[in-house]
A and B are shown apart, each in its own frame.
Chain A
Amino acid sequence: MDRLQLFSTLRSRKEKEEREEGDSDNESNNNNNNNRIDKSQATKKKEKKGKEKEKEKEKETPKERQKDVNESFGDDDNENGPIDKDLMTAAVSEIREEKKVVEQFWGTNILVEDVKKRFIHFIENFQTTSDKRRPLINDDNGNDNMDQEEDGDQQQQQQKKRNLYMEHLQVIFNQRKSYLNVNLRHVFDFDRALYHQWIRYPTEMIPLLDYEINIYFEKLYPPESELDIRPIIEIRPFNLKTITPMRNLNPSDIDQIISIRGLIIRCSSVIPDLKMAFFQCAICEFSVEVEIKKGKITEPSQCDNCKARLSMALIHNRCAFSDKQYIKLQETPDAIPEGETPHTVALFAYDNLIDFAKPGDRVEITGVFKASPMRAGRTTRTLRSIYKTYIDTLHIKRTEKGRLGASDSSAEQEQQYEQQATEEGEVGEEEQDILEISKEHERELIELSKRPDIYDLITKSLAPSIWEMDDVKKGILCQLFGGANKKFSESSGGGRFRGDINILMCGDPGTSKSQLLSFVHKIAPRGIYTSGKGSSAVGLTAYVTRDPDTRETVLESGALVLSDMGICCIDEFDKMSDETRSILHEVMEQQTVSVAKAGIICTLNARTSILASANPKESRYNPKMSVVENIKLPPTLLSRFDLIYLILDKANERTDRLLAKHLVSLYWEKPDVPFATLPKHTLTNYISYARKHVNPEISDDSVSRLVNGYLRMRNLGGGGKRTISATPRQLESLIRISEAHARIRFSKVVEPLDVEEAIRLVNVALQQAAIDPTTGTIDMDLITTGKSASHRDAVKRMESLISEVISSSDTGISFENIMNELNKKQQIQQQQSDVVREALRQMEVDVEFSNGLYKFKS
């Protein structure tokens, strides 16, 4: 509102100047009995100064501001002591030096001239490196030595200095834009005092700085002719150091600039906001213009000319209006403490911020928090003591595009998007905020990453309520961290490879697959949860509707598009219709969704990781059928999953006992937690940080390991229909998983150990060690965990016996012969033949089996 006042004043500055001067001086004298002295001082100053004094009037009329200034004045000495002391000494010295009348913000020691000077200094001299986000871990030492890194940064800055805001002004001049976005973090880095003044005294600072920038702009680009009417430039500050949680808004925030995040739940239509009312006397046609004061127009009770009472009537079409919009902002679901209902806050947006965001958008608002008294009891004898609070919006930033956890390619695209947005004249921001996570937090995370047991710790912290299944959790962790997206330059053929890891969990009912899914979808950036049964193809991809108002065809995104850059959890994958499933082919490899409907042909990005869970074909895993038959999904789809977990609920003593113990302990009240876990938000931060800042590269050593691992897998497959055979896709998945694994450690390099773990994960997932390659069935006895200790001992003993037997023969020895030999040595019964088989299988590293004969590898 203040800003609008300013503009109206600026516009009519020349014509009005003289008349207004007199008027407002009178007004200010009448207005405030309390402040009479200050006011009269101000008036004196006004007479001396030229243009600025008009500015001053603007500033001082609304009384809320005065209250605020004083409120903040009280706080000043306590909270921002050092800054203000600096300021004071500066102010004092200035006074001594210049020895002239100094203008101050009312009730403070802030000098208007000083602020102006420093602001222009900031605009002229603020420099930034081009636009690259600062890589936080840019070398191996980066973790250890933060200072060194910052030095490096400065060097970088030296190389690519540019005056950001001067460039912006140039753009404004070229494109006739009407606003200048100012990143308050830049201000903070450049001039801390200015930053604090700005956010604490916005009611003074905003009109003042708006005015200054216009003056400055005019000096910089003088108007070519009288007819050259320019839009008046507004300053839009954004990106505060701190974001206030909506719940914590309280009276102390009133009349300060705050940043707040939320979800827009409703927008009103554009409201004409009365700025200046035009009254005319019904008797003598004498007219009066009344400007808005404190958000109100006071109707003149009698005509100044003919002294008739209640004769003044509002003439609508001669009043001045401006646009305004009422927006309701609600807390985002993740900001609501458990068991509580969301809070909402009212916003007012003006001019070209109107309709910038729509209901459902997640936004970050920067604005001034205001309160206005409300009188419900209208009798003069009673007063209702309630205030309405709202935020006067200065800047809106849609956060949907850059949510936590976006990886690099997205960041690039984001920047492109933002650039585009700015060029198109939208309110986009020119500079990406570099860090979502504060410095201390960052240190903490890096500290955490150095723990030797970080891998286990994180595994344990993922869905701690779910017992065991560590390997599945490790796989899901890799998915959360994700591999690196690879893009090839145009010269080498272009194209990109996905870094997202897809996981399928196929298992018996009651193995807490759904619980895992719901945990993941809650912590994952942009997690979306759907059930296969309830999803249709369009529900997952995108559908075309006709907007009821405009009759235009509108594309609405489905689950997969919505979870772009996130994880889409699909439960009951097997119960999905074939048609629906078929659209996943495109999503899972190309990571796009193509739509060709109702005149809209387009390809949408759907860079999602998919975490699906399914039941085996016959609901329970049938050990008599092969793995492929059990999963019963087309191989084209299966090969797109990087990890396929078979989760079998097999009755066996050891696991059952552990399970029983676990459950029983749950049931006694206050069970003790057996291990320390990371709190959920630390885990989320850790993951987001890694995704954002760590991009491991594969070392040469690891490359060879990868190749070997792949070859081994390829050999295992045998190419039959009954096993899941390794395809080149598997090599890619190995790479992705090892990258993700390196990310868990915040490591810049993919080490051999990452590769080993990746290979192990893939093997374990399919329980490949237990699959009989000829029949494709799982040898249920072989599932590694399913052994009693005595059994394992027996196998161990058997191994040594067998190795004796085999080594006695040079040419190799058949199974029957081994049995016979063993029989000779010790009286083994025929029933123990499976022990022998297993022992042989365990020895496969050293023993080779060809032509029905076993012999040691040379």
Chain B
Amino acid sequence: MSDINNISSLSNPYKVINEFYEKSRDNLTNGVIVQHFRELLADNDVYSSIPLIESITDCDLHQGKLVRLRCMIQDVFEPQLYNVEYKIKNNQTNEIRYELAKYKDYTNIRENEEFILDYFNSNHQQQQCMDRNVLYCIPIPCQNKWVSKRNDSTTNSNNQVNKKKRPIEDDQQEDDDINNNNNNNNSEIIDNNNNNKKIKQNEKELKKNNNNFGKEIDFEKLYNYPVPANKEDKRVPFIVKVYDDYEIPQPGSDIPISVLKVSELVEFVGIVPQFVPDDHSSNAEKERNMMNMLGLLSFDSDQQTFPESLVPLFHCITFKLLNPYENGNHEFPFNSTTSTTTTPATQTEQQQKLDSIKSIRQELVDYILNYINDPLFAEYFIFYIISKVYSYNSGICLGNFSLNIDINCKDKEKQKQFKDIPKIIERILENVVCRSYRFEANIDNLNDFNIIPTKNYDENRIVSGLLQLAKNTHLIIDETTISEGKLESQALKGLAAIRNVSMLQKIEYDFIYHPIEFQTDIQIIDVSVGKPLVDCFSKVKINPTATTNINGTTTIDMDQNQSLFTRLQKYVNILQNTVFQPSDSQVTDHIQNDFVSSRQKDPNLSQEIFHYWLTLSRLMSLSFGENKISIARWESMKALENSRTSLL
């Protein structure tokens, strides 16, 4: 019984929701529906069989079915009030029926029926009107190819299979007739048929729409991505409507905190509703309605309207936040929606994990040296890769390790060769970390590129900027392409904002009347010739004798490469999610003594350097698979620092 129920929950969630609704109207608000779906998702097999959608085609394929969506919240729109149900009257029989309107945008009625708009009914007025949150979600920006590939292989495969299996049958039933589904398999087939049919329809519609829009729509402006999307990228943004229980009460204040914030990575589970193309034939009627609207003139002028054919709608039933440090390895069961971290590993488990990756460090060093033959750089680069902000303690962010690479050198030839370094770094990162992006900080880009996310009150949305990235995105600032020229004030503000992220991991969104500060964690690596435009936590000068090669000195065959990459990815993933332990008192005393004596030797030593040492030694220990700082590591950190500073 439950199996059948499960299948229909997956293939036709509307039917299941409707069943709940028919049992009791209270079920809409008491969380029973969400509970049902969560229980369903707790089964890992079921969970991973739910298709992930990311493009228009996916939407069309899976209309009305339970689907998953992984995305980043770009903007939070105003909450909407909506009707939970509609009262519909049959004009012939004068019968009155109610239809569920939650998780839907449109409600259809049959022939001879009409909506009763003053749906007033004293028995359940409480449920008439509810509010839902509307989020504008974009595909996770700067995601590297290997992450999405992995997703493809794990989830969408079974859909492919299903698709082949499905025979094409005649369509004898109308799509809206939900109640006739006695045989679930059958209904699935029908759904599929209908879908196929609809896809064709939609494609036509899309063409029509495009024609209507004239030539080209400014996709970039419409989609509003922080960084321009690849032309081949089929992924689209979604408008996600989130219903209840997304807020947690906040102690000491009557305003609950919403867990769904801008720049969070979320996986939504829900339904893509049937696509209803805008009816262009009803222009005449529109004009008649103008009269009705006169009273509300210019009222919704600033409301965002998106063509649904380009930005699909998504109704969320439940969701979970994604841990930004978990690199694409998402095969965790859908356990709890609110926990951002994975289940805390026990000490021994963690130790085992750390032991398993110790040997990979050398492979990573070799891999880097393969491209840039500078061991000192390789060390700091590893620290950079595995760094993350692990704590915001009393206003200071701890763990940030932004890195400046100085490629200045006297040898002209070398200088030219070194200019490739940003691209090499990009290449290395592409295969190791889950999100990375190279930003060419030349005059034009700085002047014209949106760097700071800004609120546009005319369109009532946040115009995204380079710095609206998810946490744990590695951002390469490439200053090697800069030439002489004039920087506009916008560029200076942008640079200041990047600097702020680099040093404090804070970004202020420009809300025109006042800025609003957000905490972030974008790992910044800045490659500069000489003094950088963006201050960084640490600075490494490339050894002038080092050699670089954009293609790597030794070529390894693809298969080997692939398994190497997998190992490196695992290395970064585990280290970023390791909980660091405090050292014992002996080490702590040693560190403190060291600081005191260094200060005595050189009174100009500021407390910042101590912050720096602590961060560095932590990263160094981590990179060796240790979750504690030992005296030996502290000393080797100091030695490494000496060799670094001697080069500067």
Contacts and interface: CB of A to CB of B under 8 A. Distances in A.
Interface stretch (A395-403, A486-494, A665-673): A665-673
Nearest to B110: A381
A333 B517 CA distance: 10
A495 interface: no
Interface in A56-112: 63, 66-67, 70-71, 74
Given A337-B255, A344-B78, A390 B299 contact: yes
Nearest to B611: A663
A67 B120 contact: yes
A230 to B, nearest CB: 28
B106 A382 contact: yes
B394 A666 contact: yes
Interface stretch (B166-174, B287-295, B414-422, B564-572): B287-295
Nearest to B460: A344
B514 interface: yes
A510 B295 contact: no
Contacts of B618: 667
B299 A265 contact: no
A340 B258 contact: yes
Contacts of A384: 105-106
Interface string A304-336: 000000000010000000000010101001011
A584 interface: no
Given A66-B120, A671-B393, A371 B81 contact: yes
A380 B279 CA distance: 11
Contacts of B608: 510
A850 interface: no
A386 B101 CA distance: 10
A371 B129 contact: yes
A288 interface: no
Most buried by A among B115, B293, B518, B596: B596
20 contacts: A74-B125, A271-B298, A299-B291, A328-B302, A333-B514, A339-B518, A341-B261, A341-B262, A371-B129, A375-B289, A378-B282, A382-B106, A385-B107, A387-B82, A465-B395, A651-B603, A660-B592, A660-B595, A667-B398, A668-B581
Nearest to B592: A660
A480 B591 CA distance: 38
A381 B108 contact: yes
A379 B288 CA distance: 12
Contacts of B2: none
Interface string A503-544: 000000110000100010000000000000000000000000
Contacts of A383: 86, 106-107, 109, 115
Interface string A822-837: 0000000000000000
B382 interface: no
B482 interface: no
Interface of A: 32, 34, 63, 66-67, 70-71, 74, 245, 247-248, 250-251, 254, 263, 265-266, 268, 271, 273-274, 277, 292, 295-299, 314, 326, 328, 330, 333, 335-346, 359-360, 371-375, 377-390, 463-465, 509-510, 515, 519, 620, 649-651, 653, 656-657, 659-661, 663-664, 666-671, 679, 681
B347 to A, nearest CB: 14
A296 B395 CA distance: 53
Contact of A339 (B276, B395, B519): B519
A300 to B, nearest CB: 10
Contacts of B581: 668
A380 B457 CA distance: 33
Contact of A387 (B80, B292, B299): B80
B390 interface: yes
B110 to A, nearest CB: 9
A654 to B, nearest CB: 9
Contacts of A345: 78
B579 interface: yes
Contacts of A271: 297-298
Given A297-B294, A515-B395, 8 more contacts: A298-B291, A339-B519, A340-B261, A343-B79, A373-B117, A381-B109, A383-B107, A386-B80
A660 B300 contact: no
Most buried by A among B296, B298, B604: B296
Most buried by B among A297, A386, A660: A660
A781 to B, nearest CB: 14
Given A384-B105, A666-B394, A649 B606 contact: yes
Contact of B279 (A248, A266, A371, A377): A377
Contacts of B122: 70, 74
Ranked 8 nearest A-B pairs via Cβ: A465-B394, A668-B582, A387-B81, A651-B603, A660-B592, A295-B295, A510-B606, A251-B129
B610 interface: yes
B537 interface: no
B254 interface: yes
A297 B297 CA distance: 12
Interface in B455-479: 457, 460, 462
Contact of A251 (B81, B252, B253, B289): B81
Nearest to A360: B513
Given A266-B457, A650-B603, A657-B592, A295 B120 contact: no
Nearest to A379: B279
B278 to A, nearest CB: 8
A387 B80 CA distance: 7
Contacts of B257: 337, 340
A668 B580 CA distance: 7
B106 A377 contact: yes
B76 interface: yes
B79 to A, nearest CB: 8
Interface string B499-520: 0000000000101111010110
A292 B291 CA distance: 11
A656 B596 contact: yes
A653 B299 contact: no
A669 B579 contact: yes
A85 B175 CA distance: 53
B130 A251 contact: yes
A377 B596 CA distance: 72
Contact of B289 (A67, A70, A292, A378): A378
Given A66-B120, A377-B279, A464-B394, A651 B605 contact: yes
B259 to A, nearest CB: 10
A431 to B, nearest CB: 26
Interface in B262-314: 262, 276, 279, 282, 285-286, 288-289, 291-300, 302
Interface in B47-87: 75-76, 78-83, 86
Contacts of A388: 81, 296, 299-300
B340 interface: no
B457 A379 contact: no
A273 B295 contact: yes
B189 to A, nearest CB: 26
A341 B288 CA distance: 38
Given A297-B291, A341-B516, A382-B276, A669 B582 contact: yes
A464 B396 CA distance: 11
Contacts of B253: 337
A292 B292 CA distance: 10
A34 B398 contact: no
B224 to A, nearest CB: 14
B641 to A, nearest CB: 17
A659 B591 CA distance: 12
Contacts of B76: 340-341
Contacts of A381: 108-109
Contact of A297 (B130, B295, B583): B295
Nearest to A671: B393
B596 A653 contact: yes
A328 B596 contact: no
A194 B81 CA distance: 30
Contacts of B605: 651
Contacts of A295: 295-296
A32 B298 CA distance: 30
Given A63-B120, A371-B81, A669-B579, A330 B396 contact: no
